[in-house]
Amino acid sequence: MRVMVMVKATPSSEAGVMPSEQLLADMGRYNEELVKAGVMLAGEGLHPSSKGVRVRFSGKQRSVVDGPFTETKELVAGFWLWQVRSMEEAIEWVRRCPNPMPEDSEIEIRPVFEEEDFGEEFTPELREQERRLREQIGNRG
């Protein structure tokens, strides 16, 4: 199963406080463990919401809202995409993670939808389209 592992923002991350050399080294070692175990598919840190935008949808209308966004506890400061056998395995990996922030922090784990989750609405034609798109993405690397 694939899971998205989200490092939630904190006041420090939203203020643009960069990680210490020690935290960068600790996270580098942790990421090496994830890669060696075949768990990590992707992972990145994100700039504060002050550098981001949101696009709001209302029917056919689109509006752009510039950051920063006020609810820090609802923001994401970084993420990993992992391939694990179970949610329990993902939890065990997160428990081993260095605290990614200088203050108390939180990491959220959510399963990624897989083809079989969509049922018969995901027709053979749509599955083939998805396969072609993933192949094109893979060929870029």
Q: Span 74-97, mean pLDDT? A: 97
- Judge whether residue 141 has pLDDT over 80: no
State the total domains in the chain: 1
Residue 9 within a domain: yes
**CA 17 to CA 114: how far, in whole Å?**
36
How confident is residue 140, by pLDDT bands cut at 50, 70 and 90? confident
DSSP states of 105-135 as a string?
--EEEEEPP-GGGGGGGS-HHHHHHHHHHHH
Q: Span 107-136, mean pLDDT? A: 94
Q: What pLDDT does residue 80 have?
A: 98
- pTM equals 0.90
Residue 105 within a domain: yes
Return the SS3 of 85.
coil
| Residue scoring higher pLDDT (72 or 24) | 24
Average per-residue pLDDT in the chain?
95
Domain span at residue 102 reads 2-115
Return the SS3 of 84.
coil
Residue 139 within a domain: no
**CA 74 to CA 71: how far, in whole Å?**
6
Residue 93 within a domain: yes
- What is the CATH number for 93? 3.30.70.1060
